[in-house]
Amino acid sequence: MPDVNFSNPASNPDSRAAEARAAAARDGDLRWDIIELLFFAYRDFVGDADHELEAFGFGRAHHRVLHFVYRYPGLKVADLLDVLRITKQSLGRVLKQLLDEGYIVQKTGNNDRRQRLLFATAKGEALVGRLAGLQTTRINRALADLAPDDAETVRRFLRAMIDRDDPDKVLETIFKTGPATKKD
Amino acid sequence: MPDVNFSNPASNPDSRAAEARAAAARDGDLRWDIIELLFFAYRDFVGDADHELEAFGFGRAHHRVLHFVYRYPGLKVADLLDVLRITKQSLGRVLKQLLDEGYIVQKTGNNDRRQRLLFATAKGEALVGRLAGLQTTRINRALADLAPDDAETVRRFLRAMIDRDDPDKVLETIFKTGPATKKD
DNA sequence: AATTTACGTCAGGCATGTTGACATATCTTG
DNA sequence: CAAGATATGTCAACATGCCTGACGTAAATT
């Protein structure tokens, strides 16, 4: 029989002094509910893919790389670094695995022979497609509870949550297509 | 002058064989747009807090612990493990730091003296409040672009994205409050 | 010819997660 | 009360994914 009280934040033994502080003044204005919902929703959303990836000996990092390479064929290594916001060294390891195991191929750039343009192979497409399928199922299930045009509201909310100060190339293409884009 | 083509997924040199596969059949039905928007939105959303946490020598793990302890005062260690879905050992390290540095206090349970109920101190509340403030600013900015009741649509979407098979205690309380809950 | 750019790689380190085993205090139950 | 279950803490060892800094090489630009 658990006796957790789950009472209101203000009623805890050590916060009497803090009640006069930000709590009373600002706490009620904070979006605690959405903050928590985002945490749980994203946890379960990526959990779909994480679970499947285990069977391949891959992690979340592999998924991200494969996803963006599939979605934006001919992506350069430098572009990928911009999008994922990780270092060359971190990317190097997972990219090497994906190349070695045949999920991605490199192709020397036509104009600039220094570049290694990245493409997903059929094997890579199959994997990323299966992962997107799992996540799509979850999204469709969630949208099914809502009105038809609420999907567009969700899209607009998510777009507005994204920083637009220094958009990388992928983000530019995402935002270039008007806010009313249905699917891709 | 970059020469990335950013063409359609299907037009890549190694995927001819795959076109007949899932691509043509299912690719168009996948929610690529929302999948990517969720990635970028969550990246920037947690980025707000990550940046601030650096100044304290803390990471995302500390934030999560402090958040749930503040929000659900008297949370037991076991409850925290359920919510965060990590092991006792992982939690132990960050929790110890938060205790040592005075962001959280323990209190022996009244009914069950084995339990260590967790509470945020004033110092802990100040930090978690500042972090929630940053994230709230982003959420409010995003919602400002939408119609007033669209906030409820977003909440309902996020709720529906969450697994409800084995809800832990925190999730139970979140779902117990009706879907129309405004703020906490 | 000199510099810059795109990419790769080596060495070492930190944070966060894991499994498995074990210890201690406390509650519950036969 | 004795025996077992529960809540928590801790030790050792390890994996992953991230980091900084330095260096090398090929190809483009100036």
- For residue A4, is it within any domain? no
- Amino acid residing at A68: F
Strand residues in chain A grouped as ranges (E): 104-108, 116-120
- For residue A14, is it within any domain? no
Alpha carbon distances (Å) from B48 to A30, A87, A127, B77, B141:
15, 20, 32, 27, 14
Cβ contacts of residue A56 below 8 Å, gap of 6+?
A: A62, A127
For chain B, how are helix, strand and coil distributed in percent, rounded to 5?
Answer: 60, 5, 35
The CATH number linked to A62 is 1.10.10.10
Residue B54: pLDDT above 70? yes
- For residue A15, is it within any domain? no
Instruction: Say if A18 is an interface residue toward chain B (CB within 8 Å).
Output: yes
* Strand D nucleotides within a 7 Å radius of protein CB atoms: 6-13, 16-22, 26-29
Quickly count: other Cβ atoms within 10 Å of residue A16's Cβ: 11
- For residue A105, is it within any domain? yes
Phi, psi of A120 (to 5 degrees): -80, 140
Any strand D atom closer than 7 Å to B116 CB: yes
What is the rounded average pLDDT of the residues A20-43? 79
For A125-142, how does the pLDDT look when each residue is reduced to its tens digit (9 = 90+)?
999 999 999 999 999 999
- For residue B65, is it within any domain? yes
For B87-109, how does the pLDDT look when each residue is reduced to its tens digit (9 = 90+)?
999 999 999 999 999 999 999 99
- For residue B181, is it within any domain? no
Q: Which residues of chain A lie closer than 8 angstroms to B44, CB-CB?
A: 161-163
Give the CA A108 to C1' D26 distance in Å: 12
Q: Which residues of chain B lie closer than 8 angstroms to A18, CB-CB?
A: 122, 125-126
- For residue B10, is it within any domain? no
What is the rounded average pLDDT of the residues A164-184? 68
- The pLDDT score that the predictor gives to residue B165 is 82
Mutation pick from A1, A3, A4, A68 vs chain B, by most beta carbons of B within 10 Å, is A4
Instruction: Say if A166 is an interface residue toward chain B (CB within 8 Å).
Output: no
Of residues A181 and A26, more confidence is placed in: A26
Tally of domains in chain B: 1
- The pLDDT score that the predictor gives to residue A91 is 93
- For residue B133, is it within any domain? yes
Q: How many residues does chain A have?
A: 184
Range of the domain at A125: 32-176
